[in-house]
Amino acid sequence: MDLIFLIQEAFDGLKRTKYASLITVSTIGICLVLVGTYFVVSKKSDDFLEELKSKISLQVFLQNTVTESQIPNLTQKIKRIEGVAEVNFTSKKDAIEKLSNEMKTDLISIAGYNPLQDEFTVLLLPNFSDENSIKKIKINLQNLEGVETIEFNNSLIVQIGKFQENYKKINLMIGILIGIFAVILITNTVRLSIAARSKTIEIMKLIGATNLFIRIPFLLEGIIQGLLGSLLSILAVFFAAKFIGDNFNFDFSVSRQTYLTLVFLGISLGFIGSLIAVEKFLGAKKNKS
């Protein structure tokens, strides 16, 4: 197989149909910009939700009978509970001092005693920030000796949970719609650019070209068009992200994985589009001949 000739044929094919190829590459580029934008916005939204969830914490108040020497042991026990990310201890002495400083009032002299309790602030892992997980963690905490009460903002947790659930559904729907749109548009554009040369395929068959010989240059063309389209979309997404970052002071960085995904999508869809078109024309009368 004269591979150099076949590669040359693919590039010649692109050159001969340069305007059609330009339109195909641009279409692939525009579709993949849409896909890339979806990836970036979706990732940023996920990051924002994760950050919000990482701020969910439980306040664990201790009985007054708990002594300072018991604190390290209790800290270790809390850390061992599944779903706990971080544990911070605040003594009632530190707590009243902090509060008094904030209020610029000596609260002990007003109350005549320290009304606060020793407490742990328990931060959770993102995957354990839903209502059910928190309930389980709360039970585990309550079973520990010396724990009196546990406080947390239940309504916020419920709201975040509901929002995340809806967000996931909507995000998935948008993703599927964009995906279908991109697949249909890209494969059809590539397919049409090759369909315009059905006469070439017919002549190639007539003069004795094997199916493989006919197929390879067209498939390479599809791959090249997909690659060029994806590179176009990468440039557009990169500069758009840079513009937003520079002008709106907003971190809109795009991961390398997103860029690689765009290249992979471009190449795959270009390949599939050309494969469908070539097989259609090669398949004509196949059952007969």
Partner 1 sequence: MVEFKNVTIKYSENVGIFNVNLSIGKGEFVFLLGDSGAGKSTILKAIYFDEIPTSGEVIFAEHSSLTLKNKELPFIRRKIGVVFYDFKLLEDRNVFENVAFALRVTQMPRKQVKIKTLKILTEMGLVQQRYKMPNNLSAGEKQKVAIARALINEPYILLADEPTGNLDIASEREIIEILKKVNLRGTAVLMATHNTRIVEENTSFQKIYLSKGKITG
Give the footprint of partner 1 on this chain (CB under 8 A).
1-2, 5, 16-17, 199-200, 202-211, 213, 285-286, 288-289
242-266 in b/e form (b: 16+ CB < 10 A) is eeeeeeeeeebebeeebbebbbebb
**Alpha-carbon dihedral 273, 275, 277, 278, rounded to 10 degrees:** 150
CA of 250: how far to CAs of 157, 253, 283, in Å? 27, 9, 53
CB closer to partner 1, 180 vs 209: 209
CB closer to partner 1, 80 vs 286: 286
CB closer to partner 1, 53 vs 197: 197
Nearest 5°: phi and psi at 286? Answer: -55, -40
Give least dist CB 10 to partner 1, A.
14
Give least dist CB 215 to partner 1, A.
12
For residue 120, give the H/E element and its range: strand 119-124
CB closer to partner 1, 256 vs 285: 285
Give least dist CB 203 to partner 1, A.
6
CB closer to partner 1, 17 vs 114: 17
Please report where in the chains the tokens 């001949």 appear, as a residue: 289
84 has which bridge partners? 124
Give least dist CB 22 to partner 1, A.
16
CB closer to partner 1, 5 vs 48: 5
Give least dist CB 229 to partner 1, A.
22
Give least dist CB 188 to partner 1, A.
23
Taking Cα atoms as reference points, which of 66, 36, 12, 94 lies closest to residue 240? Answer: 36
Judge whether 231 and 28 are in contact, CB under 8 Å.
no
